[in-house]
Amino acid sequence: MITTTCLHSDTKKFDNDFPVTELSDFCENEQNVVWADVSDPTSEDFLELAEEFNFHPLSIEDCRNAHQRPKVEEYPGYYFIVLYEAELTGERDDLELRELNIFLGKNFLVTVHSRPIRAVETARRLWGEWTDRAEHGSGLLAYLMIDAIVDDYLPLLDIISERMDDLEDQIFGDFQQESIQDIFRYKKQLLYLRRSITPLRDVFNTMLRREQPIFARETHVYFQDVFDHVIRVADTIDNLRDMLGSTMDAYLSVSGNRMNVVMKRLTSISTILMSATLIAGIYGMNFDLMPELKWRFGYVFALLWMLVTALGLYFYLRKIKWL
Amino acid sequence: MITTTCLHSDTKKFDNDFPVTELSDFCENEQNVVWADVSDPTSEDFLELAEEFNFHPLSIEDCRNAHQRPKVEEYPGYYFIVLYEAELTGERDDLELRELNIFLGKNFLVTVHSRPIRAVETARRLWGEWTDRAEHGSGLLAYLMIDAIVDDYLPLLDIISERMDDLEDQIFGDFQQESIQDIFRYKKQLLYLRRSITPLRDVFNTMLRREQPIFARETHVYFQDVFDHVIRVADTIDNLRDMLGSTMDAYLSVSGNRMNVVMKRLTSISTILMSATLIAGIYGMNFDLMPELKWRFGYVFALLWMLVTALGLYFYLRKIKWL
Amino acid sequence: MITTTCLHSDTKKFDNDFPVTELSDFCENEQNVVWADVSDPTSEDFLELAEEFNFHPLSIEDCRNAHQRPKVEEYPGYYFIVLYEAELTGERDDLELRELNIFLGKNFLVTVHSRPIRAVETARRLWGEWTDRAEHGSGLLAYLMIDAIVDDYLPLLDIISERMDDLEDQIFGDFQQESIQDIFRYKKQLLYLRRSITPLRDVFNTMLRREQPIFARETHVYFQDVFDHVIRVADTIDNLRDMLGSTMDAYLSVSGNRMNVVMKRLTSISTILMSATLIAGIYGMNFDLMPELKWRFGYVFALLWMLVTALGLYFYLRKIKWL
Amino acid sequence: MITTTCLHSDTKKFDNDFPVTELSDFCENEQNVVWADVSDPTSEDFLELAEEFNFHPLSIEDCRNAHQRPKVEEYPGYYFIVLYEAELTGERDDLELRELNIFLGKNFLVTVHSRPIRAVETARRLWGEWTDRAEHGSGLLAYLMIDAIVDDYLPLLDIISERMDDLEDQIFGDFQQESIQDIFRYKKQLLYLRRSITPLRDVFNTMLRREQPIFARETHVYFQDVFDHVIRVADTIDNLRDMLGSTMDAYLSVSGNRMNVVMKRLTSISTILMSATLIAGIYGMNFDLMPELKWRFGYVFALLWMLVTALGLYFYLRKIKWL
Amino acid sequence: MITTTCLHSDTKKFDNDFPVTELSDFCENEQNVVWADVSDPTSEDFLELAEEFNFHPLSIEDCRNAHQRPKVEEYPGYYFIVLYEAELTGERDDLELRELNIFLGKNFLVTVHSRPIRAVETARRLWGEWTDRAEHGSGLLAYLMIDAIVDDYLPLLDIISERMDDLEDQIFGDFQQESIQDIFRYKKQLLYLRRSITPLRDVFNTMLRREQPIFARETHVYFQDVFDHVIRVADTIDNLRDMLGSTMDAYLSVSGNRMNVVMKRLTSISTILMSATLIAGIYGMNFDLMPELKWRFGYVFALLWMLVTALGLYFYLRKIKWL
C-alpha cells in the first residue's frame, strides 16, 4: 500500500491524496518534496515505483529481498538506504529487528517496509511540526526518520545494561546455569544489534567526508548529528560486549574459586571422618590381647579419642581456611 | 575441453560452434562478446588460449596450478580472477570448494575449471535471458557468474547457522564429546569459507574505488552489487565465527558449573555414607564394657541413629544446594 | 546561572560584570575575548546563549541532553566540545564523571555544566596569570581548561595502578573472592575512563591535521600539547587494562595450580587413612584361625604395621611433592 | 668468495670468469647484466663490493650483521633486500632459517649469504633457461630468486598442516603431554615463519603502489606475482595459527569434559563401594540382640543385600550416564 | 650541569670549553654544530637554554616534568624528542628506564637527562671518530645517540628471551608458583619496554614520509636505519609477548592435563583400597553361620581374595592408563 505525502513548495501545504502516477511530474519542480511510504509492498507497487522514480533494477531487487545488511548505496540520482529498527518484545525480551528501505533523492523520499515502523510515524509527526525548515526538503525528512531509528537503540541498550548489572550481582552471589544462558542470549542480541548499526558508521563516515552533490551544506549538519548518534550507539554496544566478556571472565574466576572451596571442604570432611573411622576400626580388631578393651572406661576413652582427633583436625582445618 | 559462446553484436544472436582459432579475429570488433568455457583443461587448451587472447605466461601458470588464493589481478588488457564455489556434500556436510579461473577482457570472458561449476550453468542460462542488456558485454556475464557463486555461500551459511543453534541447545542440555568435535569442524569450515571470500572484499573494494578503464560506468553498479553481497557473506561468516566462540565460552562455563555440581555431590554422598559407616564402626568395637550393646533395642537404636544422621545431613545438604 | 568574564583588548583588563545581552556586540571586536560560564543552566540560559552567539539548535540540544559522548563537532563559526572530568570519590573509590560542554569560537568561549567543575576554576586562575599571552585569546583559555581536565586523569590512574599492585600481591598470596570483585570493578572503571578519553584522541588528531581556520598557528602548539597528554592518558589506560588482563590470567593459573595442590593432598590423605583402615579391617575379621590374633604382641604388631605403612606412604608422597 | 656471472647484452652470452674489479665498468653499459654471488663473505669482499658498486656504508653494515629483519630498503641507485629461506631439518623437524641479502640495482644483482641457499641455485639454473626474457635484466633474476624462496615456504607449511591434523586426531583420541609440547613447538615455528614473511607483504605492497624508477613496467608484473605468493604464504600461516588456537581451545574443552567424566566415575565408584562397606559394617556391630545374625541364611542375605544395593546403584548411575 | 661541545665548520676542530651564553651567536653560522649536554638540570639551566636557543615554554615544561611518553614533537626551528634508555639491573633483573630529552635543531643538539645515559657517551665517542661525515651535522649526532639507545634494547630482549626458554622447560617439567610469578613479571617488563619503543615507530614513520625541511636528504638514510631498528625491536617485543601468551596457554593445558592425571590416580587408589576394605568388612560381620570363618585357610583365602581383587584392579587401571 502506497501512502503519499507531498509538500507544495509555493503554498507550503501538505497534500496526502496525491496520485502515485503523477509523482514524477510533481518532482520536476525541484522545490516540491514528495514522500511515498510503501507498507507491505506488492509487485505492482515495485513496478509503479521503479517507473515513476526511475529506480535501478538492482536496488528494487535488494528492496524485494528482505534481510539485506544495513547500507547506503549511491545510485544515479538517489541513495538507497537499508536500516533496521530494533525493539525488545515479549516476556523474555526477545529482540525484534524490522527492516526499513529508503530511496532518498534530491526532493523525494520513498520508504518501503513490510512491518509497521515506529520511526516512520515519528518522522511524519515531526515533519508536520518543522515546516519552518522545509527548505531542507527530503534530506531533513530522512534525517528525522534515521535519527528516530538510531535513537531508539539507546533505551533498548539501557535495558540490556540493567539486566547485565543483575547478572553481575548473581555472579558474586548465587549463580545458576540459567545465568550463563542469559549471558549467552545477551551476547547474541548485542551481536545482532551491532550488525544492524556498525555498517552505518562507516557509511555515514564516507558520506560526510565525500563532497555530497545531492544535499545542501546546511543539511550536512543534520547528518553529522545522526553520525554522532550512530557512533554513540556503536560505542555503547561495544562497551556492553566488553562488559559481558568481563562478566564471563569473572564468572570463570569465581567458579574456579568455588571449586577450590568445595575441594578443600571435601578433603577436610574426608580427613575427619576417615580418622574417626580408623580409630573405630582399630578397636574393632579381634586380637586376644588388647588391654584397652578390658579397661573400664575403654569405650568412653575410644569415643573421646575420636572426638579429640576430629575436633583437632576441625580447628586446624579452620585455621588454614579449608573449612 | 573448450566450449565457445559468441554474441554477434549486429544480429544479437548467440553462436555456439565458433572455432577457437578465429576468436581473436572475432574479438577485434569491440561490440562482439566471446565466452570460452574451458572445463578440465589440457596443455593444448592453455597453449591455444594464450595464443588466441595473448595471455601473460604468469596468469596461465597460475591457472594451471590449482589452489591459488581468491584474487583479482590486473594484466594488460584483462583481469585474471580466481574464485571458489562452495558446497556442503555428503552425509557429514563436508565442505567442497571448487576453483574457477576467469580471464575477463573488454569483450571476452574465458572461464577455466577442472570440476563442473554450477555458477557457470546459471550464468549461461541468465545470459540467454538478459539479451536486452547485452551492451554490458563481458562485464555483465562476469557479474552473473560471480554473483551466482557469491550468493551460493548464503544458504550454505544458513545450514551451518542452524547446526550451531542445535549445538547451543546441546550445550545447556546433554553435551557429548562429539559436540566439541562438531564445533571444531564448523570452525574449520568457516575458516575455509572465510579464506575463500574475504580476499575478494579487499579486491572489489580497490577495483571499485579505482578508475576502471575496462568497463563502462553502467556496469560499475553491478560490481557494486557483487561487492555488497561479498561483504554480507564475509560479515555473516564473521558473525558465525563470533557465535562459535561464544558457544565455546558458554560450554566452558557450563562445564565448570557442572564439575562444581558433581564435586558437591561427591562431597555430600561421601559425608553421608562415611558418617553412617563411622557409627557402624563404633558399635563394631570390641570393648568389654559397651552398655548399648546390651540394650534390648540397641541394634534398632544404632540403625535409627545412622538414619537420623544420614537424613539430617541429606536435608542440610539439600538446603545449601549441594545435593 | 551565567557568569561572564570579558577581556578588553585595548586595556588588557578583565571585566566580570558584563551584561549577557551585550556580549554579541562586544565580540564584534575580534581582539576582545569573552568567557561565559553557565552552571546549572535553565531553559532561559540556553535561549539567551543561542540568541547572543547564534548557536545551531542541534548543538544546543546536545548540550541540554546530558550523557553525550566526548566529542568535538565543527559548527559554522565555532567548535562544540564535550568533555568529562573524572574523580574518585567516597570510601570505595567510586568513579564520578562530570560533563563539561564547551562552545569555542574565535574570540568567545561558553562553558556549560550542571555540576561544579574543578578545571573551570583552574582555568579561571591561570588565565588571570597568563595575561602576557592574551593574544592567543579563547584558544588559550580552552587549552587551559581542557589541559586541566586531561591532566587530572593521571593521578587518578596512579591510584588505580597502586590498587592493582596490591591485587597482584594478593593473587600470589591470600586471594579472596572480594579480590575478583575488585578486579571486576577496576575493569569497569577503566572502561568508563577509556570511553571518556579515547574519542578525544581521534578528534584532536583530525583537528591538528586539518587546516584550522579558527585558530592562529601559534595556538596550534598548545593543542598539540593537549593531544599529547590525551594520548598519554589513553596509553596508560590501555596499559592498565592490559595489566588487569594479565592479573586475571595469572589468577587463573595460580588458581589451577592451587586446585592441583589440594587434589594431590586429598589423594595423599585418603591413601594413608584408607591403608591404615584396611589393616584395621583385616584384623577385625572373624576367622577362627588367624594366628596373629593369638600373638602376644599381635595388637602392637598391627598398630606398628599401620604406622609403618602410613609413614612409608607419607614420606613417599612427600618425595613426589604430593604432600 | 665472490662468484660473478655476467650477461653481455650484445652477444647474449654468459661469462662466469669476469674479474670483480672490472664490474663497475662493465655495468656502465646499461644493457649488460651482472650477478655477483658472495658466499661466506670476508671483510675484503665487503670492501671490494662497496667500492665497485658504491654501496652505502649502512647497507654494508646491515649485511655484515646477521639476524636483520626481512626488509626492502631503498638506497640511491639500488634496493637492499633481506630475505630468509626456510627449511625443516633433522628428525624433529627443526626449523632452519637462512639469511639472504640482495643488492638489486638497475642492471646488477649482488647476493650475500653465509650458508648455501637453494634458491640461488634455482635462480642460476632458470636464468640460463630464460635467456629469451633477458631484457628484464636484474629485475627478472631477483624475481626468480625471491620467488624460489617464497614458494619454498608452501611445502613446509603443508608438512606442519599435516602434523596438525594428526594432533587434532590425538585430541579427540589419546592425548599425551607430548602433544601439548608439539602444539607449542608448531606455534613457535609458525611465529618464526610469520616473522620471516609478513614484513615482505607490507614492503612489496608499498613497492608496487609506488612509481618505481628502477624497473620497467614489464618487470612489474613479476613482482606482482611474488607479492601474491607472499600474501598466500602469509595467509596460510595465519590460518594455521588460527587452527592451532582452535586446537588448543578444543583440547581445553575436551580436557574439561574428560575431567567431568573422571569425577562422575569417582563419585559413582565411591558411592557403590561405600554403600556395600556400610552394610558390612552394620553386620559387624557387636550388639547382643541382632536377629539377622542368628538367621540361617543371614550371611547370604547380607551378601545379597550388598549385591542388590551395588547393582541398583550401578544401573541408576548408568542411566544418568555417570558410569 | 651544561657541557658544551662545538664543532667549528672551518677548522673541523672540536671545542669543549665554549661559553654557554655565546652559543646562539655561534649557531648563526649554519655550518657550525653545537652539542649542549645538560645532566641533572637546574632551573637556571632551563632558563639559559630557553633564552639561548629560543625554546618554546611548552617543550621546556615537558622537559622539566619527568615521565613523558616517548615522542617526537615539531616546534618552530627544532624537534623535541623524548626517549628511554633501558637496562636490566640488580639480581632479579629489574627493568630500569632512563629518560633522555633531545632538542634537535638544524645545527644544534641539546640533550637533557637527570641520570647518566650510556648512549650519550657512545655518541660522544663515535662523533669524534666520524669527523669525515661532519657535514651531516646535528642530524648525524642525533642518529648516533638514538641508534645507541635503540640498539641497546636488543641484548636486553635476548636476556628475557633466554629466561623465557627456561620457563618453557619448567612448564613441561617441574612447575612452581614462582614460575607463574616470573611469567607475570616478564609480561610487565615487556609492557614497559613496548611502551617505551612503539610510539617511536609511528613517529619515525610520519617523520620519514613527510618532507623534512630541517635535514638534508643524505641524513634521511640514517633515520631510515634507526626506524628499521625501532621496528625490529618492536617486532621482537611483540613476538616475545606472543610467546609469553603461548607459554601461559601451554601452562593451562599442561595444568589441566596434570589435574586429570591426579584425579584418575585418586579414583584408582580409592577403588583398590575400598574394595579390599569391603572384603575385610564382609569377614568382619558377626553372622553365626559364615562357613568361610570355619575354614582352615579361611584367613589366607580372604587375604588372597583381597590381593587378587587389588591386583586385578591395578592391572586393569594400568591398562586404561589411569594409574
> Could you tell me the CA-to-CA distances from D164 to A185, D160, D170 in Å, in that order?
34, 6, 10
**In the prediction, which pLDDT does A181 show?**
85
The predicted structure's pLDDT at residue B278: 93
Average pLDDT over residues A260-276: 91
Rounded CA-CA distance E322/E315 in Å is 10
Cβ partners under 8 Å of residue A177, min gap 6: B172, B254, B257
Q: CB contact, 8 Å: E90 with chain D?
A: no
Neighbours of C41 (CB within 10 A): 18
DSSP letters spanning E194-234? HHHHHHHHHHHHHHHHS--SSS-HHHHHHHHHHHHHHHHHH
Output the CA angle A78-B212-D217, nearest 5 degrees.
Answer: 160
Per-residue model confidence as pLDDT tens digits over E59-85? 888 888 877 788 888 788 888 889 999
Q: Give just the sign of the alpha carbon dihedral B194, B200, B202, B205.
A: negative
The upper half-sphere exposure of residue E150, i.e. CA atoms within 13 Å in the direction of its Cβ, equals 27
pLDDT tens figures, E219-271: 777 888 888 888 889 988 998 998 888 888 888 888 888 888 888 998 999 99
C76 interfaces chain E, CB cutoff of 8 Å: no
pLDDT score of D219: 73
Predicted confidence (pLDDT) per residue in C265-281, tens digit: 989 999 999 999 999 99
Measured in angstroms, the CA of C231 and the nearest CA of chain E are apart by: 9
Cell of D270: 565411591
DSSP helix/strand/coil, D76: coil
Per-block mean pLDDT, blocks of 10 residues, chain B (323 long): 78 76 79 86 86 85 81 83 89 88 88 91 82 69 88 90 88 77 88 87 72 65 83 89 87 85 90 93 90 89 94 93 85
Q: What is the pLDDT of residues A41-79, one digit of tens each?
A: 888 888 888 888 888 888 888 888 877 788 888 788 888
Burial class (CB in 10 A: 0-12, 13-18, 19+), B108: buried
Contacts of residue D204 in chain B, CB cutoff 8 Å?
none
Reported as type and span, the H/E element at residue B97 is strand B94-105
Mind listing the pLDDT tens digit of every residue in chain C (323 residues)? 788 887 777 777 777 777 877 787 887 887 788 888 998 888 888 888 888 888 888 888 888 887 778 888 878 888 888 989 999 888 888 899 999 999 988 888 899 999 999 998 888 888 877 766 656 678 888 888 888 999 889 889 999 999 888 888 888 877 677 788 888 889 889 988 998 888 888 777 776 766 555 666 677 778 888 888 888 899 889 989 988 888 888 888 888 888 888 889 989 999 999 999 999 999 999 988 888 888 888 899 999 999 999 999 999 999 988 88
Q: How far apart are CA C48 and CA C2, in angstroms?
A: 10
| Calpha distance E5→E2 (Å, rounded) | 10
Q: Using CB atoms, which chains have 3+ pairs under 8 A with B?
A: A, D
Q: Is A177 on the interface with B (CB under 8 A)?
A: yes
Average pLDDT over residues A102-115: 89
Chain length of chain C: 323
D255 with E250: Cβ contact below 8 A: no
Angle formed at CA D252 by CA D250 and CA D253, multiple of 5 degrees? 65
- pLDDT, one tens digit per residue, over D22-46 is 787 887 787 788 888 998 888 888 8
Does A128 have pLDDT greater than 90?
no
Which of E314, A58, D229, A4 minimizes the C-alpha distance to B219? A58
For residue A254, list chain C residues with Cβ-Cβ distance below 8 A. 177, 180
pLDDT at E78: 87
For this complex, say whether ipTM is above 0.90. Answer: no
- Asked if B269 is an interface residue toward chain D (Cβ–Cβ < 8 A), one would say yes
Interface test with A, best of C299, C301, C323 (most A CBs within 10 A): C299
Pairing of strands B94-105, B78-89: antiparallel
Strands (E) across chain C are located at 2-7, 14-15, 33-39, 71-75, 78-89, 94-105, 108-113
* % chain E with pLDDT above 90: 19
Tally: H helices and E strands in chain B: 10, 7
Give the neighbours of chain A: at least 3 Cβ pairs within 8 Å: B, C
Residue-level pLDDT at C28? 80
* All residues at 6 or more sequence positions from D11 whose CB lies less than 8 Å from its CB, including other chains: none
Query: Would you call E243 and D188 a contact, using CB atoms and an 8 Å cutoff?
Result: yes
Quick one: pLDDT at residue D312? 95
Q: What residue in C sits closest to E185 (Cα-Cα)?
A: C246
Residue type, C235: D
Cβ contacts of C226 on chain E, cutoff 8 Å: none
Q: CB pairs below 8 Å between C and E: how many?
A: 124
Measure the CA–CA gap between E245 and E231, rounded to whole angstroms: 21
Give contacts of C271 with chain A, Cβ < 8 Å.
Answer: none
Choose between E89 and A18: higher pLDDT.
Answer: E89
For residue B281, the chain A residues in CB contact (below 8 A) are 276-277, 280-281, 284
Q: Do A231 and C69 touch (CB under 8 A)?
A: yes
State the smallest CA–CA distance between residue C275 and chain E in angstroms. Answer: 7
Asked if the C-beta of C267 comes within 8 angstroms of chain E's C-beta atoms, the answer is yes
User: How far is residue B99's CA from residue B81's CA, in Å, rounded to a whole number?
Assistant: 10
pLDDT at residue E85 in the model? 92
Burial D78-101 (b: 16+ CB within 10 A, else e): bbbbbbbbbeeeeeebebebbbbb
| pLDDT at residue number D48 | 85
Q: Where are the beta strands (DSSP E) in C90-228?
A: 94-105, 108-113
Residue in chain E closest to D193 (alpha carbons) equals E239
Contact D26, D34 (CB under 8 A): yes
pLDDT value at residue B210: 63
Q: Are B243 and A188 in contact (CB under 8 A)?
A: yes
Interchain CB distance below 8 Å, C258 and A260: yes
Chains that touch D (3 or more CB pairs under 8 A): B, E
| pLDDT tens, per residue, chain D with 323 residues | 788 887 777 777 777 777 877 787 887 787 788 888 998 888 888 888 888 888 888 888 888 887 778 888 888 888 888 989 999 888 888 899 999 999 988 888 899 999 999 998 888 888 877 766 656 678 888 888 888 999 889 889 999 999 888 888 888 877 677 788 888 888 889 988 998 888 888 777 776 766 555 666 677 778 888 888 888 899 889 989 988 888 888 888 888 888 888 889 989 999 999 999 999 999 999 998 888 888 888 899 999 999 999 999 999 999 988 88
Instruction: Write the DSSP string, D230-287.
Output: HHHHHHHHHHHHHHHHHHHHHHHHHHHHHHHHHHHHHHHHHHHHHHHHHHHHHTT---
> How buried is residue E129: exposed, middle or buried, by Cβ count under 10 Å (0-12/13-18/19+)?
exposed
Partner C contacted by E277 (CB < 8 A): yes
Q: How high does pLDDT run on average in chain D?
A: 85
Please name the residues in contact with B215: beta carbons below 8 A apart, sequence gap of 6 or more. Answer: B106, B139, B223
Report yes or no: E285 at the D interface, CB cutoff 8 Å.
Answer: yes
pLDDT confidence of residue E225: 83
Round the average pLDDT of chain A to a whole number and report it.
Answer: 85
Q: C-alpha grid cell for residue C121?
A: 576554576
Residue with cell string 579561571: C124
Chains A–C, number of C-beta pairs less than 8 Å apart:
121
pLDDT tens for residues D138-148?
Answer: 888 888 888 89
| Residue B31, phi then psi, degrees to nearest 5 | -85, -25
Q: Is D277 on the interface with E (CB under 8 A)?
A: yes
Residue D122, H or E segment: helix D118-129
What is the spatial distance between Cα A72 and Cα A230, in angstroms, rounded to a whole number?
Answer: 14
The winner for highest mean pLDDT among A191-200, A312-321, D161-170, E175-184 is A312-321
pLDDT in tens, A89-107: 888 888 999 999 999 888 8
Asked whether the beta carbons of residue D271 and residue B276 sit closer than 8 angstroms, the reply is no
**pLDDT value, residue C306:** 94
The reported pLDDT for the residue numbered C269 is 92
Let me know if B214 is exposed, middle or buried by CB neighbors in 10 A (0-12, 13-18, 19+).
middle
* Mutation target vs B (from D175, D220, D226, D282; most B CBs, 10 A cutoff): D282
List chain E residues with CB under 8 Å of C218.
none
The pLDDT, as a whole number, for residue B217 is 67
What are the pLDDT digits (tens) for D208-219? Answer: 766 555 666 677
pLDDT exceeding 70 applies to what percent of chain E? 94
Average pLDDT for chain E = 85
pLDDT the model gives residue A112: 92
- What pLDDT, in 10s, does the model give residues E275-318? 999 999 999 999 888 888 898 888 999 999 999 999 999 999 99
Taking CB atoms and an 8 Å limit, are D175 and E257 in contact across chains? yes
Q: Which residue of D has its CA nearest to E267?
A: D266
- Which residue has better confidence, E6 or A275? A275
Substitution target in A170, A223, A282, A316 with the highest count of C β-carbons within 10 Å is A282
pLDDT at residue A136 in the model: 65
- Best CA proximity match to C155, nearest among C244, C232, C71, C67: C232
> Within a 10 A sphere around the Cβ of C225, how many other Cβ atoms?
19
Count of other CB atoms within 10 angstroms of residue E76: 10
Contacts of E274 in chain D (CB under 8 A): 269-270, 273-274, 277
* Res A315: pLDDT: 94
What is the DSSP-derived secondary structure letter of residue B297?
T
Instruction: Give the pLDDT score at B13.
Output: 76
Torsion of the alpha carbons at B198, B203, B205 and B211, rounded to the nearest 10: -170
- Residue A215 scores a pLDDT above 70: no
User: Which residues of chain E lie closer than 8 angstroms to D258, CB-CB?
Assistant: 260
Question: Which whole-number Å values give the CA distances from D73 to C15, D99, D104, E226, in the listed order?
Answer: 61, 16, 10, 12
Tell me whether E250 touches chain C (CB under 8 Å): no
- Find the residue in E nearest to C290 (Cα): E299
